[in-house]
Structure formats: structure tokens, C-alpha cells
Structure 1
Amino acid sequence: MSQTALKGVSLRIAEGEFFSLLGPSGCGKTTLLRILAGLEDATQGQILLDGKRVDTIPAMRRPFNMVFQRYALFPHMTVEQNIAYGLKLKKVAVDEIHARVTKVLGLVDMASFAKRRPETLSGGQAQRVAIARALVNEPRVLLLDEPLSALDQKLREHMRKELRDLQKQLKLTFVYVTHDQEEAFALSDRIGIMDRGDLKFVGTPHEVFSSSGNSFVAEFIGTQTYLPGELIENKNELVTVRLGDGGIVKGRYIRQSNGENR
């Protein structure tokens, strides 16, 4: 039986923005990222860059590059060979390959590790190589699928800062998938909250935290508490509610743009 992974997701991401997709496991974040990358096909819809369709372009030719959760470095190649691999497949001139590899090694502070093999690297160093391998192709958009999840907490916090600083330095569009709320809030210009294939809310970290658009977002972020109750009286937006334990609460409700009452 077929299953719908995404439900009519409509999203606009600004050039140079750090945009995160946040939600529980299995909500469709990675599927959306893989569709953007061209690794999976959508049954309908379009992907536009500068107003032109890119979903019809094969993954290898799209101006997007992806950094995976597992770094997938070739163990038999050195750091510089791993980074250069994609350029060699594209038959880029040797001199240009050397120049571009040298440049990105400097960007991720890994120049002194160029001749090392992946098994000699720490988790953070391997992640830098994976990012360099994506950046060497000079993409318009960098797609990152939970790239820090395999790191310990202290290193993850350090790499967050490095990622954010790198994104600002390059002025490159980042689309970042995570289930870690702290990570999304620390890194992002804007956040999209997803649940079961549906994009529930999009906003800045402040907007997500302070004015969640529906009950799922509020419960997922944990900024509000919901209690079951029975409405007893409603006069001029002043309500009286009987809670499940028999207690009575009085207050004012707010009708939101999506039709929910609070």
C-alpha cells in the first residue's frame, strides 16, 4: 500500500538564508531534502531557483549539494582525494581542481590534513571534510541532513558555531534538517516545523517560540500547556471552563488566523 510522505508542501527560501526543517523522526524532513537534491522524485509540484525549474535537472547537474548524516567518505582516498572526486567525475581541469580543493580545505580549517585518510580523523574533522566535498562544487544551495547528530554534545555545540560562521562568510543558502530544537534555534534565520508530511508553521526562531501557529507546534516546542476541559460559559470572549479534575478556570480566549481558539 502506497503512503504519502509529503502533503502539498509549499515553501519559499530566501537567497543566503539559513533555513532549518525541524520535526520528529519520520515527519518527512529528509524526504523533502532528498527531493530538493534530486535523489528522490516528487509525484507532483515544482522546485524553482531564480524562477526557473530545477526539478527536471538530474541530481548531478543541479546547483545543490548535500551533506549526509553519515559522512560517506571513501576510506581508500586521502582527504584531498575525497574532496576532489566529484570534480574529477565532471572532468574539471587538474589545475582548477587543485585550486578549488585548496580553497575549501582552508575554509574548513583542514589544510594540514590533506594527505590523511578518513580513519585517522575525528568525527568533527570528518564532518568538515564532508562539508568541504560539498562546497568544492560551488553550489547555490547546501543541503544538510542532520550533519551533527553523530557527534558528542560538546563537539556538536562547537560545530554549530563553525557552520553558522561558514554560512555567513560564504553568504550561501543552507537548508538544514534536524530533530534537535536547540540546534534549530541556535542556527537558523527561519525554521519550518513539520509533522507527518505537513509543513505546520514557518517563522523566525522568535516567532516559532512565542507565537506557535497551532497546537502541534506549541506541544512540540513545549512553550505552552494544553489541558482538556469543558466550556461552560462564553460571554464577550470571557470563558469559564471546567477541567477534567473538576476545577473551574476563567479567562479570555484568542481566535487565531488558522481558526483555533486559545
Structure 2
Amino acid sequence: MLWYHIVFLALIQGLTEFLPVSSSAHLILPAQLFNWPDQGLAFDVAVHLGTLIAIVGYFRKDIIQIVVAWAVSLKDKKSTADSRLAWWICLATIPACIAGFVFNDFISTNLRSIEVIAYATIGFGVLLWLSDRYGLAYKTEQNLGFKSVLYIGLAQALALIPGTSRSGITMTAARFLGFNRVSSARFSFLLSIPLIFAAGSLKLLELLSSNIPVDWLSISIGVVLSTISAYLCIYLFLKWLNVIGFLPFLIYRLILGAVLLVIAYT
């Protein structure tokens, strides 16, 4: 890749991983629209590592509290709000893991087209706005229960479809269930940690078992830029979410989807 490919893709991954606009779609599209070379497995590992560093760094205090509470609950058999949150994250992760294992090959072969990305971008964008427009906002993370977590986890499995947005679909489900904007976003972000870790680990194992040469300078730039952009994105998104809502993201997704449909059918 040329230097501006590296910078652009690293920033795009960092910015779109946690915004409700689909990072997978934005990483697929440059190669298809601009005839750029595929960024390759090593670079995918790098930018996944960057976003993982960002999310863990931002929520480090919460993560420590959750992990410690979970460990104590295993030992003392006593449940707290933080230990329950740990179990809810584990439960909500299971559907996406199963769906990924079962449907990964089918999705990679059949659903990575511009048309699919366009329709998913528009359709799930409308759902996101509807959930924010008509969903109630009386619940926080403390109100998470088995059914609500299972619904959010099942919704997360839909993010395997390029263009859906993992953060977008989980926030959509949470808002429809009555969780307020910030709580929906926070749980969505915490829920991303095991999946980003799993996806990055699988890509890393695949990379280590291959003979692909690694450009360590490109990798380093990718990690640094995706970490910085993802951290800033999380901070600003949570800070301004209650002010701007999800309407700007709907508008962006509608415009992007319309442009993609024009490209696909002309």
C-alpha cells in the first residue's frame, strides 16, 4: 500500500469501529471504489489491535472493576452489579460467535458486494433512527437482564452482514428495549471488547501460520493511527451523543447508501 492508503484506512477503522456506520463496509469499499490494493491480513490485525487498545484504554477503570467483581463473585458466590455486567457481556457475545462460526464462509462469498452494503447501510440506518425516535429512555446498564441482553446479543450477530454496523445494531436493539442513549452506547462499546479481541486473535493466528511478508512500518503506523482516532471517537461520541442523537448518522448512511446504489447499478 502507498502511504496515504495506510493513513486513510487506519483512520477510517479507528473512526468507524465505534460509530454506528459500519467499519467493515468502509474497509471493503476503498478497494472496490478506487481500485486500491487489498490492505492485507497483517494490516487488518494492526488496526484491530489499535481499536482494542483504544477501547480498553478508555474503559480501563470500568474493566478493572468488572473483572475484579466477576472474579470475587466466582469465589464468594455473591452477585453485584459489576459481576452481573461481566456475565451479561459474556452472554451477549455468544450469538455473534456462533453465527460467525456457522455463516462466515457464506457471508465472505456472497454478502461483500456493494449492493448488499448499500441496502444494509440504508435499512439498518433507518432502524437506528426509529429506535432513537420512538424508543423510551428509562433504563441504564443496571437494568440489564437475561432477555434484554439476549436480544442485544442476537442483534449483534446481524453485524456480520457488511454495512450493518456492530455498534449501530446493538445500540438500536438497546434503544428499542428502553435504554437511554449513553447506556446503550456504553454497553455496546464494552460488548465490542471480546469480539474485537477474538477477531484480531483469529487474524493473528492466520497471519502467523502463513508466509505473508510483514511490512512492520505500515503495521506500526496502522496501530498508532487507529488507536488515536478510535480513542478520540469514543470520547467525542459519548460526550455529544445526548446533544446530537442518531439523526446525523441516519443522514450519512442514507447519502452513502444512495451513492453506493448509483455506483452498483450504473
Bin for the TM-score computed over the shorter chain: under 0.3
TM-score, with length taken from structure 1: 0.27
TM-score, with length taken from structure 2: 0.27
Query: Which has a greater percent of strand?
Result: 1
Query: Which has a greater percent of helix?
Result: 2
Q: Which has the higher contact order (CA 8 A, sep 6+)?
A: 2
